[in-house]
Structure 1
């Protein structure tokens, strides 16, 4: 469909191409820019000025909830965090990859959560830990080993960037494996053997091709590829 114009030669107009599920719906728009302008600002402008039916998700606007993941010119990002560089003339917006599309930029994230659930993404305390709360000191080797893999917000950007994860494949995916490493490192957890059996199985670390798309796309600066390498070497690196 042709662009909804503010004028093709108007200074500051950005051409936005958006994937639409309705083939008859407009998919090209021109919006006036300001700086700094995020991709979420662009989407809201398109929805407000041109296409009220445009489907996309967002919530917190501060890169905490992980709701607004999509692809910008092929890169998996958070719309609320990604600033459109000054001088950009056009951008393409697509739904996150590896997920069934519900409508426009909205995807069904069930494949991500199915893999996340498989690694039992919470501490399974031992009887001793359940009887008396355990403590991991902030300056301990254990905490230092865990820290680099914390702060995942389950946004699915790494999953979208991975050429192996997603339907119909059964690879656990970068986020689940990163979480598995955190729990394997945690001395309070009693499910290490079960997790390591899973991550070293057919759907685990050996499926990773080390493309590093997951690491490059993480909005929190985590390195899932590093976590996968550590799991491949046995997981626990501290003395606990």
Structure 2
């Protein structure tokens, strides 16, 4: 954190709670706790949380790693919206003198601002969101996809997801439908369906064509609006709907 202070203080409200009793207990009993934090130049929300943990309450629990916007580990709910705290400067989100920070929505709480990511990644597994190479291709000379090819451009559109769960926390459908696979898992399946090296694109489509998959997306665009990588999971899900429909129409579902 920059040591140059302009002597102002920021009123920071942080949600404190113990662990969720179960994966279904997404809002365990807790309370807001408030601190006054010195305002610094170029201060990020992660800087604020770290200052509180180091100077006011060492028991405050949160998660971070890279601090430079590469891992997504530090995602929290800031002023009501999920964001990467390491890349969110307080000057861009604070209107007045108050800042609210809470854990990501739609995930069980471990403690305070730290959430359990297991349900999020379990959805990836349920969606079959892993690459399956074509066994007919020599594994020593995996089929190349040229950088300037249409196939590469199609697959690359949504491939930069790093699994930060911002879209999952923002998704209204995830909030009301517990079995919904979520934007990130479906976005990943879209990249696989469009990868010409993938052995089973039709099987991937079948895995996400049900009510817990792409059909449940209502296209609210919250995931696209808040994705820190500027991806558009809504468009990916629309593509899955389209391809699933064509597959069913052809009688091969």
TM over 0.5: yes
CA distance, structure 2, for counterparts of residue 42 and residue 96 of structure 1: 17
Higher deviation after alignment, 188-197 or 165-174: 165-174
Contact kept, 8 Å, 1:112 with 1:166, in 2: the verdict is no
Aligned pairs for 1:215-234 (under 5 A) are 215-234=224-243
Gaps of 5+ in 2: 1-5, 19-28, 245-253
Aligned pairs for 1:13-24 (under 5 A) are 13-21=9-17
Q: What SS is found at the alignment partner of 2:42? A: coil
Deviation at 1:35, TM superposition (A): 2.2
Q: 1:154 aligns with which of 155, 163, 169?
A: 163
Task: Tell me the equivalent position of 2:152.
Answer: 143
Residues 50-102 of structure 1: CA deviation (Å, up to 9, x unaligned): 11111100001111112111100111011111111176411100100001111
Aligned pairs for 1:198-217 (under 5 A) are 198-217=207-226
Task: Tell me the equivalent position of 2:249.
Answer: none
CA distance, structure 2, for counterparts of residue 63 and residue 175 of structure 1: 18
CA distance, structure 1, for counterparts of residue 32 and residue 242 of structure 2: 50
| Residue 175 (structure 1) aligned with residue 181 (structure 2) | no
Task: Tell me the equivalent position of 1:83.
Answer: 89
- The list of structure 1 runs, each at least 4 consecutive aligned residues, that deviate by more than 3 angstroms after superposition, is 22-26
Q: 1:73 aligns with which of 75, 79, 82?
A: 79
Task: Tell me the equivalent position of 2:54.
Answer: 48
Contact kept, 8 Å, 1:111 with 1:167, in 2: the verdict is no
Contact kept, 8 Å, 2:74 with 2:84, in 1: the verdict is yes
Contact kept, 8 Å, 2:13 with 2:32, in 1: the verdict is no
CA distance, structure 1, for counterparts of residue 185 and residue 65 of structure 2: 23
Pair 1:114–1:166, CA change in 2 (3 A) = farther
Contact kept, 8 Å, 1:158 with 1:213, in 2: the verdict is yes
Contact kept, 8 Å, 1:26 with 1:51, in 2: the verdict is no
Give the TM-score taking structure 2 as reference length: 0.84
Contact kept, 8 Å, 1:99 with 1:167, in 2: the verdict is no
Which structure shows the higher helix fraction?
Answer: 2
Contact kept, 8 Å, 2:158 with 2:188, in 1: the verdict is yes
Task: Tell me the equivalent position of 2:33.
Answer: 27
CA distance, structure 1, for counterparts of residue 59 and residue 177 of structure 2: 29
Deviation at 1:232, TM superposition (A): 1.1
Deviation at 1:168, TM superposition (A): 6.6
Task: Tell me the equivalent position of 1:119.
Answer: 127
Give the TM-score taking structure 1 as reference length: 0.88
How many pairs were matched up?
226
Higher deviation after alignment, 196-205 or 17-26: 17-26
CA distance, structure 2, for counterparts of residue 179 and residue 138 of structure 1: 19
Which structure shows the higher strand fraction?
Answer: 2
Taking only aligned residues, the RMSD between alpha carbons, in angstroms, comes to 2.0
Contact kept, 8 Å, 1:62 with 1:80, in 2: the verdict is yes
